[in-house]
Amino acid sequence: MPLGMTRDSYVLGYFEFVKRLHDSAFFNIDSQCLICVDFVTNSQRRELERTLSLIGGKQQKFAKSLPLYTNSYCVGVAYGEGAKLKTLMFTYDPTFDPNGPRRVEVQSWCDANKISRDQIYYEKSVKKYCKEQQAQVVEWERVNRAGLGGAHVLVDDGGAWKMDREQILAGSAKRVEVMPSAQHGELSVLDNKVNAVAKAQWRQQRHNVDHSWDAFLLLALLERVGQDSITSFWNHNFLLDAAEVTLRAVEERLVEANGRPPIRQHLADRYAEAYAAWMEDHEEVVPVYEGDVPEGGLDGPYWS
């Protein structure tokens, strides 16, 4: 959440956006025409590789190498089956140069994983980080134009989606809605669902040796997330399986983990209610450190 935003205002903003979509018939469309589009990268943290050593001895640790190139992946998923949207990968990594020395190897990766070679876009550059750009959205829209025709699309508020203040995908889609920046991380079917599932599998399967192969692997895994799971993500995020969209329903949905309330949620609710009741009868004064004021030093009331 942005600095200064309360949990209540966050939940209210989430509720108001979802309620507006329901009230304006955003979801009243063929399920394959209800689409969410977002970007993800293959960035990864530096990991430590543990090795065997003598009991009682110092544990040896070796830092795994990080990829030199960070790629951008433009992903789109529909609520229902049949949209056939292609994920596109944009990179400066010369491994993916269609005329480079590893072109045959890259083609074999594509063939083995049922990925079309033209889903990978290489651009020669001295840069290493290929960030999301308008040109990438334009290309994704061109490639997936058939699936976007008459669609209702959700995107975030990033600058890459707009050109001259107009939504690029509006050229093909019937309606484009921008998710609020504060809540879009949980609203997006991709940000907190599909991309997370693919990246969890990616962390388990990548080699951390040939980072170009690892980058390609993420592309393949993003396309393998099952439609049943994607549909359930839509239902969860936008309360499409709820009898009615209410503020209480949104509050309950946002605390769920893997579709269920946290095991100790009832205790958290009870403690919060008890604290609120206590606060009504007690005016709690929180001590504040006052810098160089005499009574604010190490022996002042803040520390005692």
259 inside domain: no
From the list 76, 74, 68, the residue with the least C-alpha distance to 44 is: 68
Q: Tell me the pLDDT tens digit for each residue of 161-191.
A: 999 989 999 999 999 999 999 999 999 999 8
Domain that includes residue 78, residue range? 7-46+66-254
Q: Which residues contact 30 (CB under 8 A, 6 or more apart)?
A: 80
- Per-residue pLDDT band for 143 (boundaries 50, 70, 90) equals very high
> What b/e sequence results for 93-108 when a residue is b if at least 16 CB atoms lie within 10 Å of its CB, and e otherwise?
bebbbeeeebeeebee
Q: Which of 6-15, 73-82, 205-214, 287-296 has the lowest mean pLDDT?
A: 287-296
- The whole-number pLDDT of residue 287 equals 59
- The whole-number pLDDT of residue 58 equals 67
- Say yes or no: 20 and 84 in one domain: yes
The whole-number average pLDDT for the span 223-238 is 95
- Say yes or no: 242 and 286 in one domain: no
Strands 72-78 and 88-91: antiparallel
Q: Which residues contact 165 (CB under 8 A, 6 or more apart)?
A: none
- Say yes or no: 214 and 275 in one domain: no
18 inside domain: yes
- Say yes or no: 133 and 282 in one domain: no
The whole-number average pLDDT for the span 49-74 is 72
56 inside domain: no
Cα–Cα distance for residue pair 201/221, rounded to 1 Å: 7
261 inside domain: no
- Say yes or no: 36 and 128 in one domain: yes
Is the pLDDT at 24 greater than 90? The verdict is: yes
CATH code, domain with 235: 3.30.420.10
- Say yes or no: 295 and 243 in one domain: no
Contact 13, 30 (CB under 8 A): no
51 inside domain: no
- Per-residue pLDDT band for 12 (boundaries 50, 70, 90) equals very high
- Say yes or no: 134 and 232 in one domain: yes
Residue 59 in 3-state DSSP? coil
Number of structural domains, the chain?
2
Cα–Cα distance for residue pair 18/11, rounded to 1 Å: 11
54 inside domain: no
DSSP 228-289: HHHHHHHHHHHTTTSSS--HHHHHHHHT-BTTB--TTHHHHHHHHHHHHHHHHH--PPPP--
From the list 169, 195, 177, 153, the residue with the least C-alpha distance to 35 is: 153
60 inside domain: no
114 inside domain: yes
Is the pLDDT at 39 greater than 80? The verdict is: yes
- Say yes or no: 24 and 160 in one domain: yes
- Say yes or no: 206 and 284 in one domain: no
Cα–Cα distance for residue pair 200/246, rounded to 1 Å: 32
- Say yes or no: 241 and 100 in one domain: yes
Of 254, 278, 296, the position where a domain reaches its end is: 254
The model carries a pTM of: 0.79
Cα–Cα distance for residue pair 303/296, rounded to 1 Å: 8
- Say yes or no: 133 and 225 in one domain: yes
Is the pLDDT at 275 greater than 90? The verdict is: no
Average pLDDT, the chain: 87
- The whole-number pLDDT of residue 303 equals 63
- Say yes or no: 146 and 279 in one domain: no
Is the pLDDT at 104 greater than 60? The verdict is: yes
Cα–Cα distance for residue pair 216/232, rounded to 1 Å: 26
